[in-house]
Structures are given as structure tokens and as C-alpha cells.
Chain A
Amino acid sequence: MAGGNSDIEFIKKGKRLDGRKPDELREVRIEAGVLNRADGSCYLEWGNNKVYAGVFGPIECHPRHKQQQDRAIVQARYTMAPFSVNDRKRPGYDRRSSEISYILSQALERVVMVEQFPRAAIRVDMQVIEAHAGTRCAALTAASVALADAGIPMTDIIPSCAAGKVSDTVVLDLNKEEDNYGQADLPLAIVPSTGEVVLLQLDGHLTPEEFEQALDMAYKGCMDLYEIQRAALANRYGGGA
């Protein structure tokens, strides 16, 4: 958060600058099974965000010292293409990608039945090819679908969505301008069947009341995304999801 820029009026007559209501998601489109080589894959468009996720596994765990004798590890890897942002991003891995990859791995380990594959790795690679705020949520949402597409045993799939604050109003799913100049950003990911929170970050300033409102709003956003994820899988594999 840039600390909030009060000069911009983000909400006019109950509508946001992109025409959404405060609790409205951007349009999300998910397609499962889009890559040939990966064991499972997913392409997701979320507003103007565009993300690919690909899964390989269970495979041999490299480097060796990361192996766990009693379970598999989930190696999630979040990367952004140099052309995904307006100022070209230097290619390669940076500290931000590192942190995001780490927390996404941990979130996914909650639902992947890792105890079934001792000493193995399940690789989840996420490529952001166009970024307009909310890409970690988009990547995690796509990753779950790719894991399911790969046939990896899981207790559930994980949807992820952020809430935030702009012009002193709590809103769902910040867009680029809201993210750059808003007052808070709270990405959330849940396990819908149990209601557990598996990813939570906060960046910015919220009162206790606003926090509760934002958490509830993001939770509801996740549940809406869950339906879109299930529909994408049903669309690929048939059957009523």
C-alpha cells in the first residue's frame, strides 16, 4: 500500500471507478487442462489478470535435502513475465516472488494429501502473463484447479480472493488503481469444506470493525470463486460439481 491517497475518489454513488459495486468481483474465467506437457494445468483470466498454472507430480524431490520421509512436499512457484506489467519487470526470481511462492506452497499443503506420497514433490508452477493486482490470489485459485486436473488427491480445492479499503470503504477484489492508491489490501484463501483460512496477509490500515467486514467480504468472494473453480472442472470432466 502506498499509504493511501485521499485525493482520489474511488467510490462515486455507490459504484467503483470500474463500475463495480463494493462487494463485486471482477469477471473470472477459468479453463482446466490447457497445457499438453504438464500433468495438470489451468488458465485463468480475472479481470485483466492472466495466469497459467501447471502441475507435475508426484515426482522425485529435488533438491534432495528438501525430501520429507513421511510425506510429499508441495513446491509452488509463482513467477511474473517481464511483459506482465507496464514497466518491464526484470526476468527471474525476486524476493517478492519468493515470499509469495512460499506462502502459496504452505496453503496448498493443507489440502493436498501429502502423506500419500512420502519423499516425493508435487510441483505447481504459476506464470503470471498479465498483472493488474490480485495476482497471488489468481495464481492460487488457478493452482488448485491445475492440481485437481492432474488428479492429485486433495481434500478440497482452494479459492483465494482479496478484500481491501479505498476511500474509507471496504471493497472486494481491488483493481490496479485501488491497489496502488488504496488504504489496505487483505488477500485471503480458504478451504471451503471446513471453513479454514489457509492464507491471510494484510498490508495497510484497517480498524477492527473494518477488518471483520473485509474478512467476511473476502470469505464470501472465495465461496463465489469456489463455484467457478468447480464449474471449470465439471466443464472439463463432466458430471455435476
Chain B
Amino acid sequence: MSSATVANLMRGHIEKLAAQGKRTDGRSANEFRGVSIETGLIGTAEGSARVSLGDTTVMCGVKLLVGTPYPDSPGRGSMTTTAELACLASEQFEPGPPREPAIELARVVDRGIRESQMIDFEGLCIEHGEKVWIVFIDMHILDHGGNLFDCCTLAAASALGNAKIPNVQHGIADKDVDLSIGCWPISCTFAKLGEAIVLDPNHDEETVMSARLTVAHDENGNLRAMQKGYSGAFTPDEIKASVKTARTADKALRKALKEATK
């Protein structure tokens, strides 16, 4: 039986538990699953991280290449984010060019990083109007256990925190330097299960959720990016409550990120 069928059979169970503030995996409503971060695994990448959030695993590689700046920002580097829902991560992922879910995922992660000014784009200018560093953030989902948004943001942030600017290889300067990081964004994703809302949905919960809300904060508790997904709805009060929850619930991830990138 496919996992989607199983989850549908579990719908009543999941929603009943959620109404009591409980989860199928024993967590409380606003608790993240265990997180692990390993950095610097890929020799061919300028920065890399393998991040697990519960059953979900994402491998992120950061590459920096020399390119030309956009005409409207001649003094700034740029960045590109992609997400690959690798076939081995789920029986539901199919080969082919990225479809809407992968594109949405990459763009939400991209916004969290861009809007938090995590990367100092002016510092990535090599020659005004001519040469800049382009940061490529490529996220490969290896294991889909639910909540790809938060795991991907964490993987991207960890890989960026681990990245070095390859000056030597490109003949720009005689020393490689760390990519300077301005701010650390963390995203928190909520799922609506029946009338209840839970943080960090697992795979079964995602299969039955009616709506999804992702909130990215910087370390000062300011909002940097948000995305609501699926066809269900949240009330304004539910959104306000979730944003408030996210400000404190991201502590565990922040701590792991800090330790992995110090």
C-alpha cells in the first residue's frame, strides 16, 4: 500500500491526536524533531552541509563562480538557489525538470536567505560592472520525511556558513577567505491538521494537512520571509499565534546551526 494511502487511513487518528495537542511520533505541537548537521563533506564544493531533521535529509552544496553582474546592480554579486527532489528521496518524486513544488521550495529558501541579508552581495563584487561572485546554492533532498522547507533552509544556511571564497582557484587573490555572513535565517513551518496547528510536520502529517505556513526569522526575531501553501486556510489570529511561536520554537535549530558553523 502506498504511503499516501496509509496516511489517508491515518487522517482521523492524526487529526484527533492534534486536537489534543499530541502527535503520532510523541512530540508536542510546537516541538521540532531532532536535528543533525554535518558540514564540509564535499571537496568539490566551496561549502557543503548534510542536514537531517527527523527522517528528512538534505544535502546542500554551495559553489562560487566568477560571472558578470546584473546591469541593474553592477556592484553586487548574485545568488541562485535550486532544489532537486531526488528520486531516491521518495517514491512520489519523479524524474524530469523541476516542477512547481521544487521551484516553490527553492524560492522560499532563497527569499529567507536573500531578505535576511545573510550574504553581503556588495562584498562579492570583484570589479565594478565587470566581475562578481555568483553564489550557487544547490539543495538535494535525499530523504523525504516531511518539512523540506525548514530542513532546506537549515542546510543552505549551514553550507553558506561553511563556504570559502575560492580566490586562489580563480586567480582573484592569493588567499581563500570565508564567505562573510551577515545574519542567520531560520524557518519554521506549521501544518494545519483539522482545526489544530503543529510545527515541523512529519511525512504522514504533511500528507493529510490542509494548509502550510512557513515563517523565516532572523536572529533578532524579525520576520524575513513567509509563505502560505496548500488550499486550506488560516485565520489571522492563527497566523499571529504561529509567528509568535516561531520566534521561540526555532531555538533548537539555531543552537545546532551555531555549533555547526562556529
Contacts and interface: CB of A to CB of B under 8 A. Distances in A.
B176 interface: no
Contact of A126 (B48, B65, B88): B88
Contact of A91 (B57, B84, B142, B203): B84
Interface of A: 35-38, 41, 48, 50, 52-56, 59, 62, 77, 79, 81-88, 91-93, 123, 125-127, 129-132
B87 A129 contact: no
Contacts of A56: 91
Contacts of B4: none
A27 to B, nearest CB: 15
Given A83-B138, A92-B97, A129-B59, A123 B42 contact: no
B41 A82 contact: no
Contacts of B200: none
Contacts of A50: 41-42
Of B44, B142, B203, the most chain A CB neighbours within 10 A belong to: B44
Contacts of A35: 57, 88-89, 142-143
A82 B88 contact: no
Contacts of A77: 87, 95
Interface of B: 41-45, 48, 55, 57, 59, 61-63, 65, 82, 84, 86-91, 94-98, 136, 138, 140, 142-145, 169, 203
A235 B52 CA distance: 23
Contacts of A55: 88
26 contacts: A35-B89, A36-B57, A36-B145, A37-B143, A37-B144, A48-B43, A50-B42, A54-B86, A54-B87, A56-B91, A62-B94, A77-B87, A77-B95, A79-B86, A82-B136, A84-B61, A91-B82, A93-B95, A93-B96, A125-B86, A125-B88, A127-B140, A129-B42, A130-B42, A130-B44, A132-B43
A139 B255 CA distance: 36
Contacts of B95: 77, 93
Nearest to B42: A130
A91 B90 CA distance: 19
A48 B138 CA distance: 20
Contact of B142 (A52, A84, A88, A92): A52
A127 B142 contact: yes
A41 B88 contact: yes
B44 A85 contact: yes
Given A83-B61, A130-B44, A53 B88 contact: yes
B35 to A, nearest CB: 15
Contact of B48 (A79, A83, A87, A127): A83
Of B48, B97, B138, B203, the most chain A CB neighbours within 10 A belong to: B138
A65 to B, nearest CB: 16
Given A37-B90, A48-B43, 7 more contacts: A52-B142, A53-B88, A54-B88, A56-B91, A83-B61, A126-B88, A127-B86
Contacts of A85: 44
B143 A83 contact: no
A82 B61 contact: yes
Nearest to B166: A86
A91 B138 CA distance: 8
